[in-house]
Structure 1
């Protein structure tokens, strides 16, 4: 067992630091990854990342679903959205997904994207799987056209609330593609010592993380430090239980990276020292499952 790899999350990056943060993320080509979305940083994240992505061929994942600032009127003018759809701020229809994929490629300066996540499908009205059917259809077509390698589903509470399950996501993707060899290859969800439902389930080989891993999908852990709040909530004693020679943030990161089934931990680190600390933490041997159970019992008891 090895700890998960570190990837750069861009949701909470400070604007002046975006380019430098992306360059730091590219320093280790074996594990480098950048995750973003068209609505991050008031719609500027992808454009700010583009120069670094042009300099380094670091893999990148982005998203479809939320409308970026100023995107609604353009999408309506291009016929990708109705005015009613635009007013909701979130859309996963096939025409909009195709349009957003093209916009993402243009903004990021890439002809082909590594991963597109369907962003918070639980936000859509109606049956989420019918909504996802249209989105998956468009994304399979993007793959067929050579513009995309794979796609996934990124959710905040869809798995915890029972709105989404890995089994049903796989079923819809299989039906859309007409084969079990579809291109749904990843999920992204919050995993931390306080957003710990899926974390605790994974320790017993259950829940969305374990199920996705058994499918051969990658699991991306977002918000591993709970939006930067976790280091203030955790204690030195808890960190020592995880690994005595690590700082509190490092210990919390290593715990998430040690969760069975997690492939990549997405860290938003504007500060070079914070990124270096994160990299150093994930080079440590993973924390044993019995220790992780003790940690969750202390900080996030069921």
Structure 2
């Protein structure tokens, strides 16, 4: 077993700390990755990243779905967004996804996007698969045009609630692309000792993480520290089951990074100390399945 790679998530990074955070994340070109979205940091994440990415040209994943106030105004004016979708604050229509991909390229200062996630399709008004059909249609066209390498689906609770499943997403991508060789290659979901449903399933080779891994997809684990709350919820005795030599935050990160099938842990770290602590944790050997299962069993019993 190997641990997942560490990537920088920009959802909670302080704007003033973003430049240095990217520089730290880019220090190891073999594993460097930045994850962002047009609505992060009140719509400023991508423009703030652009000049830093010139100096540190690492892979970036971004998203389509949630609307910022300015994007809503501009897309409605352009005819790419209906007034109804604008009122909902979330859209995955084919015209809007094309429009947002173009804006993402402009804001990030790139002619080509590495990976675009359809962001929380469970928020759509109606059947999420119908919304995703529209999104996948646009994203497959973007890959055909050479402006995108691959796409994915990012969700908070879509797999837990049953609104989404990996086999259904794969089948939808096949239908849209007209071939098994589609460009749906990643999922992003919360994986932590708190958000542990998919985690526990993966230990038994089941659930969305295992299914995505079987297809060869990347699996991005978001919120591995549950928005910073997990270190306050976990106990020293509990994390000792993971590794007695690590701090509580490190043990929580190593547990998530050891989940079979997870390929990347996304951490919003604004300080050098937090990033260094995370790097040190993920350099440890992966935690075997038996102690991981015991930790989750203890938490489930509380």
User: Where on the TM-score scale, by shorter chain, does this alignment land: which range?
Assistant: over 0.9
- Aligned residue number for residue 244 of structure 2: 244
- Aligned residue number for residue 22 of structure 2: 22
Deviations 1:81-129 (A, max 9, x none): 0112111100000000000000000000111111000000000111111
Q: TM-score, structure 2 length as denominator? A: 0.99
Classify the secondary structure of the residue corresponding to 1:8. strand
- Aligned residue number for residue 72 of structure 1: 72
Q: Check the 8 A contact 1:223/1:267 in 2, yes or no.
A: yes
Matched, 1:274 2:274: yes
Q: Check the 8 A contact 1:187/1:217 in 2, yes or no.
A: yes
Classify the secondary structure of the residue corresponding to 1:160. helix
Deviation at 1:300, TM superposition (A): 3.2
Deviations 1:140-174 (A, max 9, x none): 00000000000000000000000000000000000
Relative to structure 1, is the Cα distance of residues 69 and 19 closer, same or farther in structure 2, using a 3 angstrom cutoff? Answer: farther
Q: Check the 8 A contact 1:192/1:252 in 2, yes or no.
A: yes
**Alignment of structure 1 residues 156-171 onto 2, 5 Å:** 156-171=156-171
Whole-Å separation in 2 of the counterparts to 1:128 and 1:239: 37
- Aligned residue number for residue 128 of structure 1: 128
Relative to structure 1, is the Cα distance of residues 301 and 217 closer, same or farther in structure 2, using a 3 angstrom cutoff? Answer: farther
Relative to structure 1, is the Cα distance of residues 153 and 32 closer, same or farther in structure 2, using a 3 angstrom cutoff? Answer: same
**Alignment of structure 1 residues 1-302 onto 2, 5 Å:** 1-301=1-301
Whole-Å separation in 2 of the counterparts to 1:167 and 1:29: 33
Classify the secondary structure of the residue corresponding to 2:163. coil
Whole-Å separation in 1 of the counterparts to 2:91 and 2:80: 10
Whole-Å separation in 2 of the counterparts to 1:100 and 1:88: 16
Deviations 1:211-268 (A, max 9, x none): 0000100100000000000000011111211011111000000000000000000000
Whole-Å separation in 2 of the counterparts to 1:197 and 1:301: 14
Whole-Å separation in 2 of the counterparts to 1:210 and 1:254: 18
Whole-Å separation in 2 of the counterparts to 1:68 and 1:300: 38
Q: Check the 8 A contact 1:193/1:300 in 2, yes or no.
A: no
Classify the secondary structure of the residue corresponding to 1:174. helix
The runs of 5 or more residues in structure 2 that have no matched partner are none
RMSD, aligned CA:
0.9
Deviation at 1:70, TM superposition (A): 1.6
Whole-Å separation in 2 of the counterparts to 1:301 and 1:125: 36
Deviation at 1:130, TM superposition (A): 1.1
User: Please, which moves more after superposition, 197-206 or 122-131?
Assistant: 122-131
The runs of 5 or more residues in structure 1 that have no matched partner are none
Q: Check the 8 A contact 1:137/1:176 in 2, yes or no.
A: yes
Deviation at 1:69, TM superposition (A): 3.2
